[in-house]
Every structure is written in structure tokens, then in C-alpha cells.
């Protein structure tokens, strides 16, 4: 299983970014996929999950600003991030649960700063 993230970068507060996670060795539509983030000195936290049936889950900190979506034909999961805040600055990781194992991408840096 290999997960590859892309789309991070530097954005001003209030701006938007879209992250992508492409997979090989796993079919995203048959598994739970999530986006997590880790800021310096903080624990890694989940910011969006998408389940096999298409349901989604978000913590209060990003609900209404972040949207997770899945393209089954491309076997890719996206994270649309709007109204970004400086506190959203972190390394963002794609995660998939497959046969009770957790798989992670390499991470992509998102920096929100003026």
C-alpha cells in the first residue's frame, strides 16, 4: 500500500488549498480514509474522515471549512480547505485503514501566514 499526498503550500489567512491523496495497493472506496495533521509540538489529529459508504466526519475545529471527497475512478481522496487560519498550519497526512493496519503518506506542509 502506498499513499502519496500533494497540494500543500503557503497560503494567506482566509485562503484555500486542495490536498490530494493518490493510492496504490488499496481501493479507497472499500476502506476508511482520513486526513490528519500535526503541528510542531502537538499530537497528530484527525481533521476529516470518509467511510466506505461515503459518510464523512469532521472535528469542530474544521467543520464547515474543510471538505473531504473521494474520486473512485481515480482512487484519490481530496481535502478542500477553505477559510484557512494560521492555526491550520501543520504537516497534513493521508491515512487509510486496510485489514486493520494503518497506512500513512509522507505528508505535505500547509502554512497559513500573511
pLDDT band at residue 91 under the 50/70/90 scheme: very high
Evaluate if residue 16 carries a pLDDT over 90.
Answer: yes
Mean pLDDT of all residues in 79-87: 98
Evaluate if residue 29 carries a pLDDT over 90.
Answer: no
Please report where in the chains the cell 464547515 appears, as a residue: 64
Give the whole-angstrom CA distance, residue 10 versus residue 30.
Answer: 33
Mean pLDDT of all residues in 63-72: 97
By residue count, the chain amounts to: 114
Mean pLDDT of all residues in 69-90: 97
Amino acid at each position: 500500500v502506498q499513499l502519496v499526498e500533494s497540494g500543500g503550500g503557503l497560503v494567506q489567512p482566509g485562503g484555500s488549498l486542495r490536498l490530494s491523496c493518490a493510492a496504490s495497493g488499496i481501493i479507497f472506496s472499500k476502506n476508511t480514509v482520513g486526513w490528519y495533521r500535526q503541528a510542531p509540538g502537538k499530537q497528530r489529529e484527525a481533521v476529516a474522515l470518509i467511510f466506505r459508504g461515503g459518510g464523512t466526519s469532521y472535528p469542530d475545529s474544521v467543520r464547515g471549512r474543510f471538505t473531504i471527497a473521494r474520486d473512485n475512478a481515480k482512487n484519490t481522496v481530496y481535502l478542500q480547505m477553505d477559510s484557512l487560519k494560521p492555526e491550520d498550519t501543520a504537516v497534513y497526512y493521508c491515512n487509510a485503514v486496510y485489514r486493520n493496519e494503518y497506512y500513512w503518506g509522507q505528508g505535505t506542509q500547509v502554512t497559513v501566514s500573511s
